[in-house]
Amino acid sequence: MGDREDFGPTLDEALVLAERWLDGVREGRIPPQVDVEAVKDELGRRLPQRGADAVEVLRRLADAVEPGLMRMHSPRFHGWVIGGAEPVALGADWLVSAWDQNTALREVTPGVVAAEELAGEWLIDLLGLPAGAEVGFVTGATVANLVGLVCGRDEVLRRSGWDARTDGLAGGPAVRLLVGRERHGSVDSAAILAGLGAGRVVEVDDQGRMRVDALREALAEGEGPAVVCLQAGNIHSGAFDPLAEAAAVAHEAGAWVHVDGAFGLWAAASPRLRHLVEGVETADSWATDAHKTLNVPYDCGIAAVGHPETLHASLAQHAAYLPGSIDIADPADRVPELSRRARGVPVYATLAQLGRAGVSDLVEQLADAASAIADGVRALPGAEILNEVGYTQVCASFGDDERTRAVGEALRSSGTALASPSTWHGRAVLRFSVSNWLTDAHEAARTVAAVKAAVAAVG
Ligand X SMILES: *Cc1c(COP(=O)(O)O)cnc(C)c1O
Which positions touch ligand X (CB under 6 A)? Answer: 81, 140-142, 184, 186, 233, 235, 260, 262-263, 289, 301
Residues 335, 336, 339, 341, CA torsion sign: negative
Closer of 141 and 332 to ligand X (Cβ): 141
- 84 near 438, Cβ under 8 Å? yes
Paired sense of beta strands 226-231 and 200-202, if any: unpaired
CA dist., res. 360 & res. 346, Å (int): 18
CA dist., res. 30 & res. 75, Å (int): 10
Cβ 263 to ligand X shortest distance, Å: 5
Closer of 233 and 346 to ligand X (Cβ): 233
Cβ 120 to ligand X shortest distance, Å: 18
Best CA proximity match to 81, nearest among 389, 319, 427, 431 = 431
- Report the 3 state secondary structure along 315-357: HCCCCCCCCCCCCCCCHHHCCCCCCCCCCCHHHHHHHHHHHHH
- 304 near 137, Cβ under 8 Å? no
Closer of 194 and 235 to ligand X (Cβ): 235
Cβ 327 to ligand X shortest distance, Å: 32
Closer of 30 and 232 to ligand X (Cβ): 232
CA dist., res. 76 & res. 99, Å (int): 34
Cβ 285 to ligand X shortest distance, Å: 14
Closer of 83 and 324 to ligand X (Cβ): 83
Q: How many CB atoms lie within 10 A of CB 15?
A: 11
Cβ 233 to ligand X shortest distance, Å: 5
201, β-bridge pairs: 179
Closer of 143 and 157 to ligand X (Cβ): 143
Cβ 301 to ligand X shortest distance, Å: 5
